[in-house]
């Protein structure tokens, strides 16, 4: 299920503006990879390029290769829609569909893709996904209520349940806890540790403790200067990054002596 991702010489552009330059890294299956770095350095852009989500912004394009289990995601015969079915995404702000109930939100990926499923199979999928997102006990009695009525932390876990319901190989998370309180954050971190048994997880975070707590590998992105593209400065096992980084810039950022 979980897959390996290899990125080589990836440049990402918005129109003529080069946002990210020369990224090379390998993401191991069944692991959590954290991306850290200051705002505007291209972490989220890079994350979105992994499932071709950045293409929804007009003028965005990439050069270079993103290979998942031997297949180039940017090959001419690859449909971005199929890429996104394999690589799910959770966003910074919880975004359940406001017109749908909790139940419908979880099965949205299946239903919107018009996959025909029996009611019993759907019920089963909802329970499995909500249990997987640690939300089942809290909402099992009100599955028909609107998803937008949940608390922020519950909404975010609902979005995770929605993302894992389509059984992706990789789960991308773009600052999933930045709008949440510490208790909800803890719930989602525990969840990530459970999910990595089945999925490859890549998470962008501004919270360095979070990166240190949950991830096996960490990548540090930084800008060379104002108006310059962001770069991957260092990519190493998390322990090494947080104890003995190769680069001075990484150490400065992690220890708060940045800039």
What is the binding site for another protein (CB under 8 A)?
51, 53, 56, 58, 81-86, 88-89, 91, 93, 95-99, 108-109, 111-114, 142, 145-146, 148-150, 159, 162-163, 166
Strand partners, 96: none
Contact yes or no for 202/48 (Cβ under 8 A): no
Give all strands of the β-sheet with 5-14 in edge-to-edge order: 71-72, 60-68, 5-14, 17-27, 230-237, 217-223, 32-36, 200-204, 170-174, 87-90
CB of 149 to another protein, least distance (A): 4
CB of 90 to another protein, least distance (A): 8
> Which CB atom, from 169 or from 232, has the smaller least distance to another protein?
169
> Which CB atom, from 53 or from 241, has the smaller least distance to another protein?
53
CB of 129 to another protein, least distance (A): 12
Contact yes or no for 183/138 (Cβ under 8 A): no
CB of 23 to another protein, least distance (A): 21
CB of 17 to another protein, least distance (A): 18
DSSP characters over 21-77: EEEEEEE-TT-EEEEE--TTSSHHHHHHHTTTGGGGSTTEEEEEEEEETTEETT-TT
Strands 71-72 and 60-68: antiparallel
Task: Note the helical H segments in 170-231.
Answer: 182-195, 208-214
> Which CB atom, from 162 or from 231, has the smaller least distance to another protein?
162
**195 alpha carbon, distance to own chain's centre:** 12
> Which CB atom, from 59 or from 75, has the smaller least distance to another protein?
59
Cα 132 to Cα 152: distance, rounded to the nearest angstrom: 18
**96 alpha carbon, distance to own chain's centre:** 16
CB of 22 to another protein, least distance (A): 26
> Which CB atom, from 96 or from 245, has the smaller least distance to another protein?
96
> Which CB atom, from 126 or from 166, has the smaller least distance to another protein?
166
> Which CB atom, from 58 or from 256, has the smaller least distance to another protein?
58
């Amino acid at each position: 299920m979980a897959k390996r991702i290899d990125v080589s010489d990836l440049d990402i552009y918005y129109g003529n503006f080069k946002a990210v330059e020369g990224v090379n890294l390998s993401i191991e299956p069944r692991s959590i990879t954290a991306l850290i770095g200051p705002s505007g350095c291209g972490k989220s852009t890079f994350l979105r390029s992994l499932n071709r989500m950045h293409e929804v912004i007009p003028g965005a394009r990439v050069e270079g290769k993103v290979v998942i289990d031997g297949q180039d995601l940017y090959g001419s015969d690859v449909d971005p829609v199929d890429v996104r079915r394999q690589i799910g995404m959770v966003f910074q702000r919880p975004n359940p569909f406001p017109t749908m109930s909790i139940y419908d939100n979880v099965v949205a990926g299946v239903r919107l893709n018009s996959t025909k499923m029996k009611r019993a199979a759907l019920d089963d999928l909802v329970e499995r996904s909500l249990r997987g997102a640690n939300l089942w006990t809290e909402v099992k009695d009100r599955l028909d209520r609107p998803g937008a009525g949940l608390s922020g932390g519950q909404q975010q876990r609902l979005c995770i349940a929605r993302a894992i319901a389509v059984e992706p190989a990789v789960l991308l998370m773009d600052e999933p806890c930045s709008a949440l309180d510490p208790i909800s954050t803890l719930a989602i971190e525990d969840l990530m540790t459970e999910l990595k048994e089945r999925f490859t997880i890549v998470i962008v975070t501004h919270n360095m403790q979070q990166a240190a707590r949950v991830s096996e590998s960490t990548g540090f992105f930084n800008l060379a200067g104002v108006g310059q593209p962001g770069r991957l400065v260092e990519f190493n096992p998390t322990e090494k990054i947080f104890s003995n980084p190769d680069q001075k810039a990484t150490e400065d950022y992690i220890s708060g002596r940045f800039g």
